[in-house]
Homo-oligomer: A and B are copies of this chain.
Amino acid sequence: MKLKIAVLPGDGIGPEVVRQAIKVINVISKKFGHEVEIKEGIVGGIAIDNFGDPLPEETWKICEESDAILLGAVGGPKWDNLPGDKRPEKALLRLRSGFNLFANIRPIPIFDELIFSSPIKEDYLKGVDFVIVRELTGGLYFGKPKETRIENGEEVAIDTMIYRASEIRRIAHVAFRMAQKRKKKVTSVDKANILECSRLWRKIVEEVSKEYIDVTLEHMYVDNCAMQIVRNPKQFDVILTENTFGDILSDEAAIITGSIGMLPSASLGETKKGLYEPIHGSAPDIAGQNIANPIATILSVALMFRYSFDLENEAKLIENSVRKILSLGYFTKDLFNNNPYAKKLVSTEEMGDLICSAIEGGA
């Protein structure tokens, strides 16, 4: 298979973690006989510095011509005082809206070797494995009117939560299709006892569920879900939710893993094209020191093979290789200290090489 991949290293630790991910792309492709065409694009703060634009035309074209996009991280203190629409983060929003990537996928895996660093007790975590499917382009964050006006002599601020049936339907399909390939359960999260948007959400999700008779659907209120993610995370397979609730719940879920530096994400649309990136930021304080953890970016590559290329075996081998290297006691600095499983402290480069050799060895 021919794999056309756009790679956007970005700022801070972006370039060094992406470099490891490129190694992984090359090794896994060679092993499975895929032809890879990687084109690198400039994005974020460095693109602002060089082209006055966080997403230059040339980078957009590279992304447009590719089947999938891998992004490192954007932003840093240098660009923090720019106005909102000139900020490095704007590149992400433009990629998402430009390619209509309405589904944000956040897997919540538990690595036994990292439970020590989770705030949650071990019994509650062992065996946890779920995915949050968050609607990314609608709802309260984008609805109009969004304004502050003067009424009766005082300021009044307004935001609008708005969902069209079709927006709900398409994200529901993403969640149900995902559940079919997993544990066959969708938990749809809303506040249908209070919100109109949630009532429509629930109705459309019910309709869509009829097309997936092998998948169990349950509904949960968002406040209860915030509780259940801590109380009993094992109950979940696929959590489906709207934009604002997903923003809150996905960060809450991330922390229970004890390993934010390990978490990948995908943003998907109606086509196979997707944007893949670690959830961690650009971490400018440790950039260029060869100590950053590249695993979140490497696991984002696994998601790319799974969702954009439908290459499940390749995705699994990448994931198993990461698990193997951790089980052997290799850790980067962020996860080495106090880790009862730690045997050898490795650099960013070394971690990339170790995972590549695990892939070559079939993990």
The chain A residues found within 8 Å of chain B, CB to CB, are 118-121, 124, 140-141, 143, 146-148, 151, 154-166, 191, 194-197, 199-201, 222-224, 226-227, 229-231, 244-245, 247-252, 254-256
Contact = CB atoms under 8 A, between A and B. Distances in A.
A157 B162 contact: yes
Contacts of A154: 164-166
A351 B328 CA distance: 52
Nearest to A164: B156
Nearest to A250: B223
Nearest to A154: B165
A144 to B, nearest CB: 10
The number of times this chain is found in the oligomer is: 2
Nearest to A232: B119
Contact of A141 (B121, B195, B224): B195
Contacts of A223: 247-248, 250-252
A194 B141 contact: yes
Contact of A230 (B164, B166, B252): B252
16 contacts: A119-B120, A140-B161, A141-B195, A148-B199, A148-B200, A154-B164, A155-B165, A157-B200, A159-B196, A160-B161, A223-B250, A227-B251, A227-B252, A227-B255, A244-B244, A245-B248
Given A162-B156, A196-B157, A230 B248 contact: no
Contacts of A156: 162-165, 200
A233 to B, nearest CB: 9
A196 B148 CA distance: 7
Contacts of A252: 223, 226-227, 229-230, 252
Contact of A158 (B194, B197, B224): B197
